């Protein structure tokens, strides 16, 4: 599953999770003997307060939390043996291709055909294994994200309500893929406080800094058309920054 597909899945998941949380909250509220019409949502006017809008990077909130980082570190270690196996296959292919380039002029017809057949067979095996590895890593990353999102989404809604936000917008996808052209992240982003609250609630301690070990190198495909190696990405830094509009 690609990053774009993952963002779609997480977006759908957060909508359903927050919707379910909202319905549960409404159902638990006491009701009088007669039905009372719902109070219309306040709208901005010339004299009234403007709608308070906040932003949050859902992916950063999930994978930047202590639990998300711990889960991703575990995933990196889990897939490391398969990465090493793919690297060995890739190295073997590179050696055969180097042999073909250096010896093809001196090899007889049968030996040359046999070497080319070996390369072709091993290339197909590698490509299939590489694609399966990518899909497996992305599926496991999606499972981690969905599991944590189900616990983070109600907290996002509560934080927004407690702090007077009328709308929270996900900024996981940058412009132009996202309709958000510009925002002052330092002024409106709630990712950091939400993550801090979630860390405190979850009780998961911050994982020890693992340095380069947290991002093991993936095998480089030997074909130009192969997709980039799949590996669990490290969480983006949560330092506030201002996004400038395109010129």
pLDDT digits (tens, 9 = 90+) for 56-68: 999 999 999 999 9
d(CA 205, CA 191) in angstroms, rounded, equals 18
CB 170 within 8 A of CB 56: yes
End-to-end CA separation in angstroms for the chain: 33
State the burial class of residue 149 (Cβ atoms within 10 Å of its Cβ: 0-12, 13-18, 19+): buried
**Per the confidence metrics, is the pTM higher than 0.75?**
no
Predicted confidence band at 244 (pLDDT cuts at 50, 70, 90)?
Answer: very low
d(CA 200, CA 51) in angstroms, rounded, equals 29
Give the mean model confidence (pLDDT) for residues 79-98.
96
Residue located via tokens 């359903």: 16
Predicted confidence band at 45 (pLDDT cuts at 50, 70, 90)?
Answer: low
CB 168 within 8 A of CB 55: yes
d(CA 159, CA 228) in angstroms, rounded, equals 38
For residue 9, pLDDT beyond 50: no
Q: Domain spans of the chain?
A: 3-21+51-180+191-204
CB 177 within 8 A of CB 240: no
CA distances from 93 to 20, 46, 59, 152, 187 (A): 51, 69, 36, 45, 52
- Least confident among 29-43, 65-79, 127-141: 29-43
Compute the residue count for the chain.
247
For residue 20, pLDDT beyond 70: no
The partner residues of 199 in beta bridges, in order of sequence, read none
d(CA 77, CA 69) in angstroms, rounded, equals 12
pLDDT in tens, 137-180: 999 999 999 999 999 999 999 999 999 999 999 999 988 888 88
CA distances from 197 to 63, 73, 154, 171, 228 (A): 14, 21, 12, 19, 35
Predicted confidence band at 47 (pLDDT cuts at 50, 70, 90)?
Answer: low
33-68 in b/e form (b: 16+ CB < 10 A) is eeeeeeeeeeeeeeeeeeeeebbbbbbbbbbbbbbb
Query: What is the torsional sign of CA 56, 63, 146, 220?
Result: positive
For residue 29, pLDDT beyond 50: no
Higher pLDDT, 67 or 235: 67
């Amino acid at each position: 599953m690609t990053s774009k597909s993952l963002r779609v899945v997480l977006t759908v998941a957060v909508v359903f999770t927050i919707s379910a949380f909202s319905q549960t909250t409404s159902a638990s509220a006491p009701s009088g003997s007669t039905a009372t019409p719902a109070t219309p949502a306040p709208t901005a006017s010339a004299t009234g307060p403007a709608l308070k809008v906040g932003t949050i990077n859902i992916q950063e909130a999930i994978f930047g939390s202590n639990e998300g980082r711990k889960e991703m570190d575990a995933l990196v270690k889990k897939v490391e043996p398969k990465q090493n196996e793919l690297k060995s296959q890739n190295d073997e292919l590179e050696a055969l291709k180097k042999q073909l380039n250096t010896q093809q002029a001196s090899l007889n017809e049968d030996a040359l055909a046999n070497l080319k057949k070996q390369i072709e067979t091993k290339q197909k095996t590698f490509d299939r294994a590489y694609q399966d590895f990518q899909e497996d890593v992305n599926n496991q990353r999606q499972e981690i994200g969905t599991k944590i999102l189900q616990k983070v989404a109600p907290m996002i809604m509560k934080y927004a309500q407690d702090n007077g936000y009328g709308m929270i917008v996900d900024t996981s996808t940058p412009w132009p893929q996202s309709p958000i052209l510009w925002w002052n992240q330092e002024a409106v982003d709630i990712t950091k406080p939400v993550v801090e609250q979630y860390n405190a609630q979850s009780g998961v301690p911050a994982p020890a800094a693992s340095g380069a070990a947290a991002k093991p190198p993936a095998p480089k495909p030997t074909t130009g058309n192969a997709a980039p190696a799949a590996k669990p990405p490290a969480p983006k830094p949560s330092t506030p920054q201002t996004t400038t509009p395109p010129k």
